[in-house]
Amino acid sequence: MLKYIQYWTNAGLHSEMEDDEKRKVFLTNALSLFLAVVMLLVWMNDVFNTENYLAAYRRTGVFIIMLLIPLLNHKKLYKLSKSLFLFFPGFILLGVPIIIGDFFPGQFIWFQYAGAVFCSIPIILFDYKKEKIYIALFFIYYLLVTLFIDKVLLYYSDPPEALKELVTNFSDFKLPPLFVAFFSTTTLLWYNRTNSKYEKRLKQTNIELNETQWELIAKNEEYEAINRNLEALVKERTKVIDSKNRQIIDYANINAHKVRGPLARIMGLINISDYSDDPNELKSLFEKLRPPSQELNIIIDEINKTLEEGESDNKEEG
């Protein structure tokens, strides 16, 4: 049962519609469902209780029209569905009884209150900015019903004298439904305008929030790019430091193993020369200095070459 009600009330709704338009279509479907149920209940009373079959035919006509409302909304004929809902119930329930002369004295009272209530319905169903002409037409339609339905009934019928006196009393008979009509209409107009202002502010706030969100996303991407650059820079600097450390280690190894050998031999020969005054012996000692000196020169060249290669590698990585 709930599925059928949901299907009925959601007929014609789609994701591309604005929220206010969705509400109005939903209300049209919901009101048509409500009125169809009311007509069904009244129809049962007309048939099984009062046996007023002419009235039952009218309820059936309204019931069938109410069933068409969701179908028209499903076909996206929104204005037509609203117009049918607003025009035909009033015409069939209020106009037809007068035309065929099938009414009773109690209808002097409820006809005008029905017209007063329907004065405000167009404001609920139509967009007061885009569809003002529809609101004005149906408001005038039901306002005229509220004002003159009793005159028409008096013209086509001969009610009791007491009822005639009541009808001619404007303050007791006519003023209350007129008050209902204007109060409900002005209240709904005020509500729609206020709701429209808040929706406009809400949309503007949503736009600002979206812009702020995109700005935050852009800033976040910028910070992530900076972090990636920093990570890359740290890696490059780490490579340079590692290269420098390798050079230092290589230099230390060269100094520990290669340089100290020939240097120790040179220093040993120099120390021995301090204890000799023989020219031939000193000459022999100096001759012995040549090989370790040459060896030391080759080692120094290797060190310079290693340092130069390390510098060039760092420049290429930078």
Q: Output the six-digit token pair for 167.
A: 């009808």
Predicted TM-score (pTM) of the model is 0.61
Token pair, residue 191, equals 């509500």
Q: How far apart are CA 302 and CA 310, in angstroms?
A: 12
Q: What is the DSSP string of 35-69?
A: HHHHHHHHHHHIIIII--HHHHHHHHHHHHHHHHH
Closest CA to 40 of 63, 61, 68, 9: 63
127-130, Cβ contacts within 8 angstroms, sequence gap of 24 or more: 127/20, 127/21, 127/24, 128/189, 128/192, 128/193, 129/196
On whether residue 115 sits in a domain, the answer given is yes
Domain of 56 in residue numbering reads as 2-168
Which pLDDT score is estimated for 83? 93
Residue 242 structure tokens? 């590692």
Residue pLDDT, tens place only, 226-285 = 888 888 888 888 887 877 777 777 766 766 666 777 777 777 777 777 766 777 776 776
Q: Are 28 and 85 in contact (CB under 8 A)?
A: yes
Distance from the Cα of residue 218 to its chain's centroid: 20
Q: What is the mean pLDDT of the chain?
A: 82
Report if residue 173 sits inside a domain. Answer: no
Supply the pLDDT for residue 255.
62
Pair (26, 122) in one structural domain: yes
Residue 180 pLDDT greater than 60, yes or no: yes
pLDDT, average across residues 292-315:
71
Within-domain flag for 109: yes
Domain end call among 140, 168, 196:
168
169 vs 207, which has greater pLDDT?
207
Q: 89: Cβ–Cβ under 8 A, 6 or more apart, which residues?
A: 35, 62, 65, 66, 118
Write the CATH number for 269: 1.10.287
Is residue 45 domain-shared with residue 136, that is, in the same domain? yes
Last residue of a domain, one of 168, 201, 226: 168
Pair (11, 150) in one structural domain: yes
| Residue 313 pLDDT class (50, 70, 90 cuts) | low
Number of domains, the chain: 2
What pLDDT digit, counting tens, does each position of 273-282 carry? 776 677 777 6
> Angle 296-301-306 (CA atoms, 0-180°, nearest 5)?
125
Q: Same structural domain for residues 119 and 17? A: yes
Q: Within 13 Å and on the Cβ side, how many CA atoms surround 70?
A: 20
User: What does the block give as tokens for 133?
Assistant: 């002409």
Q: Report if residue 127 sits inside a domain.
A: yes
User: Do 255 and 151 belong to one domain?
Assistant: no
Domain stop point among 114, 136, 168: 168
